Structure formats: C-alpha cells, structure tokens
Amino acid sequence: MPVKPVQCAKIHSQRLTSDLLFLSTEEEVEDVLSNILRDRSHIDETLRLASEENAAENYHDGEITSKPMVLFLGPWSVGKSSMINYLLGLKDSPYQLYTGAEPTTSEFTVIMHGKKTRSIEGIVMAADSSRSFSPLEKFGQSFLEKLIGIEMPHKLLERVTFVDTPGIIENRKQQERGYPFNDVCQWFIDRADLIFVTFDPTKLDVGLELEMLFRQLKGRESQIRIILNKADNLATQDLMRVYGALFWSLAPLINVTEPPRVYVSSFWPYDYAPDTSRELFKREEISLLEDLNQVIENRMENKIAFIRQHAIRVRIHALLVDRYVQTFKDKMSYFSDPDLVFKEIVDDPDKFFIFKSILAKTNVSKFDLPNREAYQDFFGVNPIGSFKSLSAQCSYSGGCLLDKIEKAITSELPGLLSSINPGKAPPGLSSCEATGCGDKPKNRYRKN
C-alpha cells in the first residue's frame, strides 16, 4: 500500500532525511522508523515497573490513599502531550495524545489506570462519587465538557496518574475559555505530587498568564520541576544561552533560595538529533525518571506532610479570625455602629495588634502569616457576626477543636509518619517552637 510523502513528513518532519519522503511501502517506512525510534528499556528499569513489589501496591480513590498525581503545565506546543506519550509508550496507539505545532490540547486530560482502555467524559468523572474528581463539578458544565479521562492497563499507571493541561496562550483571556481556567489549574496544583512546567527553547517569553501560573505555584516550589524540552534542536552553545535566558525569565517569578531542578532533554519517541549532546540528554532523562520514581515511592509521606502543613495553616487562620472576633467584641459599645467599627479593624489590623498578638503568644512564624489584605476579602464574603469565638467551640466531652488540630500537628501526624517508616526516628515536632502551639482557647467546661 503506497504511503503519501506528506504522511511521512508529519511523522518526523524535522529529523527524517528527505529520502524517507519517497519510500513507497509501509514496510520500508517502518524499517526506517525502527532505526530512529529511541530505546525505552531504561524507562521500565528506572521506574522499576517490572517489580512485583510495585505491582502489589494498593491504592484507593480517597485524597490520601490515591495514586500520586503528576501535573504537566506550560505554554502551548512545548511537548507536554508528547512527553506523556513517550513515558507511556503510546506512539501509534489509538489513545495517544494528539500533538502538533499548533495549539492542540484544549482539554484537561487525566490519564489513569484501568482494566481496559477507554475514554471517560468529564461529566461522568465528576458524577462518580467513588473518584476523587467530584469537586470539579463546582467549575460548571462548560468546564466538564473540557475534561476527559483515559483509562488503560499500564504498569506505570498502576503507580501514578498523569494530568495533561491546555497550553497557556498569552493573548487569550479566561473568559474566552468559557470556564475559570486559573481556578481549575489551582485545584490540580493543590493535589499534585509533582508538577512539570515545560518550556520550548524557542518559546521563553513570560507573559501575564504565565506570571499568574507561577503565582498560583507559590508555596509548592518543592513539587516543581522545570523541563527544557526539545533541547536537541539547538547546538550546545545556543543551548547554554537558552538555559541562562530561562533562569533570567523565571527568577522574578520563583522567589526562593534554591530554584527548582531543571531537566534539559528531548522527551519524545524519536532518537536525538545528530551532532547534539545525546549523552547529556540521556543522563538528564534518567535523572528525571529517578526523581519521578522517588515521588511515587514517597507518596504517603508527602501526603501526610502536606496535610500537616495544611493543618498548621488552618490553625493560624482560626487564631487570626478569633482575634478579629475578640477585638470586634471589645471595641463594640451600645452606641457603636458595628459596620464602622469592624471596617476600622479590618482596614488597619496593625492598629489593634491583631497579627502581632498572634506572633507574641503562639510562636507562629511571621513567614507563615497570610497577607492582611486577604482578610479584607475574606470578611467581605463572611460577615464577622457569623463566627463564634474559639472558646465557644469547646465542650466537656469533646474538648476544644483547636486542641484536636494541635494534637494532630504535634503527635498524631508525626506518629503516622514514623509508623510508615519504622526504621526512622519520628521528627521532633512535639515542642511549641516546632509547631507554633501555645495560645489555646480556655475550655470553660474544664478546670485549668
């Protein structure tokens, strides 16, 4: 059966020689392609996909016990979908993710394990309460139409779930997407165990949408990995310049002492371009796979650590709201206008020492305190009168809610970590200096 030259060109347009365009049979084309396809055996070996121990791992659909989630973010046509196809070996399969030079991925695609290969509509994923995607329904039906799930029996997907996202297009507004794109990204970011932010050496411009994305990634720097993809398109000297330009562009967006790890390679099924640093690219790829494997194996520890981190933030938020409530009650009199009194407090909390009192009495790190402006928005939606003081949340039989949170932070979650790793000593998290405890609500039902 004759093969059209244009079909061959699409297969490997930039790297195949012109002779391939004139091959006459599919057998000849397959013979040439077999010589330029990259060996994938190191993927199975590095990720230990043949290990019986890994195959025996049990996962559930709950937030804590679910598989690790790997999220792919970045501008359009940088190779996110191609990278997933390569890692899963989906080339020429019916369910390979569509790729191209133009913006191709318009959906959020969740690739997960299943007994048989099938696609699942977003409305079905959100309606299934046994899955962890039910909360996505809050983003509306327009978004669910842009959500798709793909299940397939694959060794890697037994251990991890991949999420492919629409590429960032700087001249496109959120309203044009028909759903809150940034809010949806934030939902996946908050649940991702590993976040691959992918770049193309020819697309390093940082626009407003990309700046917004990195603002959403604040606090998740330990999960971020930067991928400089398609690196074999450049000569070594040009690649060094691009690498420096990438750091220069991202430096204002990632305000941390230690920047995220950057992997430089070409993640797609075909062999590296000739006369490029193929040994470097291969080592970078193996390092990325080892990184991915480490995240998979440490999934439970990472989730428990994240829950503890979130519990500390909840506790700080509760203490701050309680301080706002107490200050409001102290400043109110019979003749006071409650709206004016509270506006004065929320507009200038430092005047009433709200944040300083939290730092002075609870040993909370000042770096963990939220922005003061955030509470103007918070109380704009949640009236101050709808909150009870923390002391009113105590009962004789149940104790105080804040005590339970502090117990989880100081002992229960660290104990759970030590039970997962019995060979390791539990972290010393029982002191107030480590956890920020100290200011407890008085339980009026118990003698102190």
Residues 6+ apart with CB under 8 A from 21: 5, 8, 9
d(CA 71, CA 224): 10
Predicted local confidence at residue 140, as pLDDT: 92
Asked if the model's pLDDT at residue 159 lies above 60, the reply is yes
The whole-chain average pLDDT of the chain stands at 81
Provide the 3-class DSSP secondary structure of residue 388: coil
Residues 6+ apart with CB under 8 A from 36: 12, 15, 16, 270, 271
pLDDT tens-place string over residues 311-333: 888 999 999 999 999 999 999 98
Burial class from Cβ neighbours inside 10 Å (0-12, 13-18, 19+) for residue 165 reads: buried
Asked if the model's pLDDT at residue 446 lies above 90, the reply is no
d(CA 177, CA 142): 9
Predicted local confidence at residue 167, as pLDDT: 87
Q: Are strands 108-113 and 161-164 parallel, antiparallel or unpaired?
A: antiparallel
Predicted local confidence at residue 370, as pLDDT: 86
Predicted local confidence at residue 292, as pLDDT: 95
pLDDT tens-place string over residues 349-393: 999 999 988 887 666 788 888 888 889 889 988 998 889 888 888
Asked if the model's pLDDT at residue 433 lies above 60, the reply is no
pLDDT tens-place string over residues 95-114: 788 776 556 568 899 999 99
Q: Across 27-31, 165-169, 288-292, 337-341, which has the greatest mean pLDDT?
A: 288-292
How many H helices and E strands in the chain? 19, 10
| 81 — pLDDT class (breaks 50, 70, 90) | very high
Tokens representing residue 324 in the block: 């706002």
Predicted local confidence at residue 56, as pLDDT: 43
CA dihedral (318, 186, 210, 219) in degrees, to 10, reads: 40
d(CA 252, CA 48): 38
Asked if the model's pLDDT at residue 48 lies above 80, the reply is yes
Beta pairing partners, 226: 197, 262
Residues 6+ apart with CB under 8 A from 99: 79, 81, 82, 85
Predicted local confidence at residue 421, as pLDDT: 67
387 touches 342 (CB < 8 A): no
Residue with tokens 């794109």: 181
d(CA 210, CA 383): 34
Tokens representing residue 166 in the block: 């629409």
311-to-314, 369, 401, 410 alpha-carbon distances in Å: 5, 14, 12, 11
Asked if the model's pLDDT at residue 299 lies above 80, the reply is yes
Within 10 A of 106 (CB to CB), how many other CB atoms are there?
12
Within 10 A of 1 (CB to CB), how many other CB atoms are there?
6
List the domains of the chain with CATH numbers: 61-276 (3.40.50.300), 304-419 (1.10.268.20)
Tokens representing residue 48 in the block: 């230990």
236 touches 206 (CB < 8 A): no
Q: Across 58-67, 201-210, 276-285, which has the greatest mean pLDDT?
A: 276-285
Asked if the model's pLDDT at residue 7 lies above 70, the reply is no
Percent share of the chain, pLDDT over 70: 79
